[in-house]
Chain A
Amino acid sequence: MVFKHDVVIVGAGLAGLRAALEVTGKGDVALISKVYPTRSHSGAAQGGIAAALGNEEPDSWEWHMYDTVKGGDYLTDQNVAEILARDAPRAVYELEHMGVPFNRMNNGKIAQRAFGGHTRNFGEAAVKRACYAADRSGRVIMDTLYFEAVRKGIRIYPEFQMLDLVFRDGQAAGLIAYETATGELHFFHCRMILLATGGYGKVFKTSSNAFASTGDGVYLPYRAGLPLEDMEFVQFHPTGIHRLGVLISEAARGEGGILRNSQGERFMERHAPTIKDLAPRDMVSRAIAMEIREGRGIGGQDYVHLDLTHLGEKKLEERLSDISSFVRIYLGVDPAREPVPIAPTCHYMMGGIPTSTEGEVLDLQGERVPGLYAAGECSCLSLHGANRLGCNSLLDLVVFGRRAGQKMAGELARLPWQEAPERPGEETARRIARLKEKGTGEKTGVLRAELQEAMTLHCSVFRTEESLQKALACIGELQERYPRVRVDHKGDRFNTDLLEALELECLLGLAEAMVHSALARRESRGAHSREDHMERDDDRFLRHTLVCRRGGRVRVDHKPVTVTRFQPRARTY
């Protein structure tokens, strides 16, 4: 079928929902989402959303901006960080007005708590800046925005998976989506597309991300020849449940949790003397990896302990109840009595589709791609730089989701329709038929597991030229094997076998972009830690990486970082 809407938003996480709320009423907007909207991974966010409300103690947007820049190891574009920090209080009040049930202080104001890298007075000491609803902040914000979208009558297509973007004369003309329930292909004819498809942690073996986090929306523009930015920066969250990767929010340390090695030592005192366990994530993850490497993992194994026993049952129940229940369910451990086994887990992608502060997708020359927008984790505003601070993502989603929505609404009067192609989806249908026809071949799961294994081994917390070359070789080999993937499920209904085969192409392409970017950055900055180039090198590498496919090859380019208020300095905590 052909559906026609002015604006199609791909992804119903917080970024997509927030943008949709801005367009509705001004133009005809539709949301498509490959999972039911309320299953989007924004709902997994636990800790909170950052804003210098100053409710608990004095705070200012400038300190927030500074923390964002320093947390990003000065790769953050400072004009973007300024917009974020200044707009944060408004954004949080707006969420409260819509009904988000934030926790409260005794005086009735929104409660706030400490989080990694949030500091007072430019790094002096920790500050309480994270607004939260227990440890299900993302869930309640998403429910609120989702039902707001329903109330406003926004057209939602649940379980529709985008498989291709359609361009005409360099402008986005629409997209091809697969309806999971029926197996039909549809063409969405539109003037503007907003990609809000979230992260792609599934490139790695251990991840806090959902099974749906496969980065389809990041890969498709890359496949079409558009660049991706800062793809080498992958955030490993220090505290994933050992083996599973399920997240234990930084809020656990914000509320007083402590990391300990096999000797019971609070090792973060050595690595970050001022803010200790509340250092930014890249530093804590590295510290944990070092402890494990030097034999101080618990029982010599590959994990350390997160000690919450001193917080008391009441605090655990009131503020960290979900994560307490994860620990009980998956580890059989009562966090009030025993320490929790944790290890770093792939968590967040700082890199993605380069965009302007209005969500416009930018090409290699920095020119706007007419009709194409991106927001949320799939985008790269250069806001999080080389390492994102906790609670800045939810904020990013609502601040820049809104801005993208406003921009698109403004363009409605201007941007013409592009003609629909004659037989839209033909090529997509052929690709699907090819996958289904094959009687023999390899299984998606096997290739995916090999990719995840290789990326985890060679491209995670620590990297070297050698390890990255190994990763690259493995990706190349898997890409060669990919055309031999076979799909068992030949039917039309809920064919996840087919969809996962298609998603694998995205994972492979994104891994390729990551590794090429990581190879080109011969320095250590933020989450990108090269053991063969241990120092940050501002002279050569204070610049963004752009990676794209050109003529069958992967090419790496650069663009400058915007520095306004804060000159790069050594990053210590």
Chain B
Amino acid sequence: MEMQFRIFRHDPQVEAKPHYRSYNVKADPRDRILDCLNRIRWEQDGTLSYRMSCGHGVCGSDGMRINGVCGLACQQLVKDYEGQEVLLEPLPFFPVVKDLVVEMEGFLKRIGEQRPHLMARGDPPEKERLQDPRDRRKVDDVIRCILCACCTGACPVMTRNGDYVGPAALVWAYRYICDSRDSRYRERLKNIDFANGVWSCENFFDCTRACPKKIPVTRCINTLKREAEKLGPR
């Protein structure tokens, strides 16, 4: 089949404003959108830039806006876009490096602020620390996160308030708050218990819908809100 694409193009080094360019590519219905991007770049227009690596939704490189919805180009199949023009744009409100490539530093910094490493009590035992499988299961969903930023790109609050830590950072806070081996429960909760922390979330669920790894992001955030409330007045 023949597919039509309209792609956001911008090289901030040489042009003041972005523009859109159209491309036609032949595709198999089972192809990924990423395959089409590759075909465009390899066969038609080498100047197009985007990130990719694993090609199957585990590295988190190719988060972008596909017909207005944030997702991974490697996880969307051509057959689901049959008969429509596909509009590809970078993740919203991330600064554009070039075309579909955006700056990730700020995003990763906010995750880093959650101190996403285990801080356990005392010295580790000789063998493994024991953990009840029911406790371990609490982090089952969130350890699927691939840091693709689709959730953060999709969040309507982020559009208005760039200081909001955003859903991905909260997923990472949750990851350690809910790890029974960690000892900094209170401290970690306090770290997100402020206006631009967990309380900026307005329960739009866009993040949950966008997450390519099907992490129940909003549900995690709501759990964090409840736990934070238990801490008492701020």
Q: Which residues of A contact B (CB under 8 A)?
A: 35-36, 38-41, 43-44, 53, 89, 92-93, 96-99, 101-111, 133-134, 136, 139-140, 143-144, 147-148, 150-151, 181, 210-212, 243-244, 246, 321-322, 325-326, 329-331, 443-446, 487-497
Contact = CB atoms under 8 A, between A and B. Distances in A.
Contact of B61 (A35, A98, A111, A243): A35
A246 B42 CA distance: 21
A487 B46 contact: yes
Given A39-B53, A147-B117, A491-B47, A104 B136 contact: yes
Interface in B129-156: 129-133, 136, 139-140, 143-144, 146-147
Interface in B43-68: 43, 45-47, 49-61
A460 B41 CA distance: 28
A467 to B, nearest CB: 27
A140 B144 CA distance: 8
Interface of B: 11-14, 30, 32, 38, 41-43, 45-47, 49-61, 75, 77, 97-99, 101, 104, 112, 115-118, 120, 124, 126-133, 136, 139-140, 143-144, 146-147, 179, 181-182, 214
Contacts of A489: 46-47, 49
Contacts of B77: 329-330
B128 A96 contact: yes
Contacts of A331: 30
Nearest to A134: B140
Contacts of B146: 38, 43, 139
Nearest to B101: A494
A448 to B, nearest CB: 8
A41 B143 contact: no
9 contacts: A35-B59, A39-B54, A97-B118, A106-B133, A109-B127, A147-B116, A211-B53, A490-B47, A493-B98
Return the 3 tightest CB-CB contacts between A and B, nearest first.
Answer: A99-B118, A488-B46, A445-B42
A446 B14 CA distance: 29
Nearest to A152: B117
A492 B13 contact: yes
Contact of B53 (A99, A212, A490): A212
Contacts of A446: 42
Contact of A243 (B14, B30, B115, B140): B30
Nearest to B44: A488
Contacts of B136: 101-104
B58 A330 contact: no
Contact of A491 (B11, B52, B55, B57): B11
A109 B59 contact: no
A93 B127 contact: yes
A151 B181 CA distance: 18
A400 to B, nearest CB: 22
B97 A494 contact: yes
Contacts of B117: 98-99, 144, 147-148, 151
Contacts of A104: 130-133, 136
A151 B115 contact: yes
Given A97-B120, A181-B97, A491-B98, 16 more contacts: A39-B53, A44-B54, A92-B128, A96-B128, A98-B118, A99-B179, A101-B139, A103-B133, A103-B136, A109-B130, A133-B143, A136-B143, A139-B58, A210-B53, A445-B43, A497-B41
A101 B179 contact: yes
B112 A110 contact: no
B79 to A, nearest CB: 9
A92 B126 CA distance: 11
B97 A97 contact: no
Nearest to B123: A97
Interface centre among A101, A105, A108 (most CB of B within 10 A): A101
Contacts of A98: 117-118
Given A36-B104, A103-B136, A329-B77, A497 B54 contact: no
A41 B124 contact: no
Interface centre among B41, B128, B214 (most CB of A within 10 A): B128
Given A101-B139, A326-B56, A491-B13, A36 B61 contact: yes
Contact of B124 (A44, A97, A133, A140): A97
A330 B146 CA distance: 19
Contacts of B55: 210-211, 246
A321 B128 CA distance: 25
A110 B49 contact: no
Contact of B30 (A133, A134, A150, A330): A330
A491 B12 CA distance: 11
B60 A494 contact: no
B143 A109 contact: no
Contacts of B133: 103-106, 108, 111
Nearest to B133: A104
Contacts of A97: 118, 120, 124, 128-129
A58 to B, nearest CB: 16
B147 to A, nearest CB: 5
B98 A494 contact: yes
